[in-house]
């Protein structure tokens, strides 16, 4: 579970970097090409940039869905484990109460 957590943190940092750096770099590149470049190169860059941004958003969306599924699975497993622990603790408490009552009964007989 720690491996998943560490891997998710690294992926989150990567996506946060990509979400903040790549759009700004793309806008700067488009402005520079508009100022210094030709319309043909600009058109190619616009199409390429739009395609890349769309592809990144689709990949990111699927990554988010996968991560949510993993977290949901972990929460379900945790809930099941907690139910088992609760039943075990209840059983232990009842056993201790029985033992305590048996010891009190033995002391009263003496």
pLDDT, position 65: 80
Task: Give the count of domains, the chain.
Answer: 1
H-helix or E-strand spanning residue 24? helix 2-36
pLDDT, position 93: 92
**Percent over 90 (pLDDT), the chain:** 10
On the question of pLDDT at 36 being above 70, the answer is no
Phi-psi region of 40 (alpha: psi -120 to 50; beta: other; left: phi over 0): alpha
pLDDT, position 76: 85
pLDDT, position 110: 58
Confidence of residue 75 (pLDDT cuts 50, 70, 90): confident
Residue ranges making up the domain that contains 74: 2-109
Which residue has tokens 């622990």? 85
Q: Does the pTM exceed 0.85?
A: no
Q: What rounded mean pLDDT belongs to the chain? A: 78
Rounded average pLDDT over 32-53? 70
């Amino acid at each position: 579970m720690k491996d998943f957590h560490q891997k998710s943190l690294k992926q989150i940092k990567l996506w946060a970097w990509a979400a903040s750096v790549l759009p700004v770099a793309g806008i700067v590149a488009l402005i520079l090409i508009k100022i210094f470049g030709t319309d043909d190169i600009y058109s190619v860059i616009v199409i390429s940039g739009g395609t890349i941004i769309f592809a990144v958003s689709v990949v990111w969306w699927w990554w988010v869905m996968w991560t949510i599924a993993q977290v949901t699975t972990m929460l379900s497993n945790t809930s099941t484990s907690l139910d088992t622990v609760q039943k075990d603790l209840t059983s232990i408490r009842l056993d201790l109460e029985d033992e305590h009552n048996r010891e009190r009964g033995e002391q009263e007989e003496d």
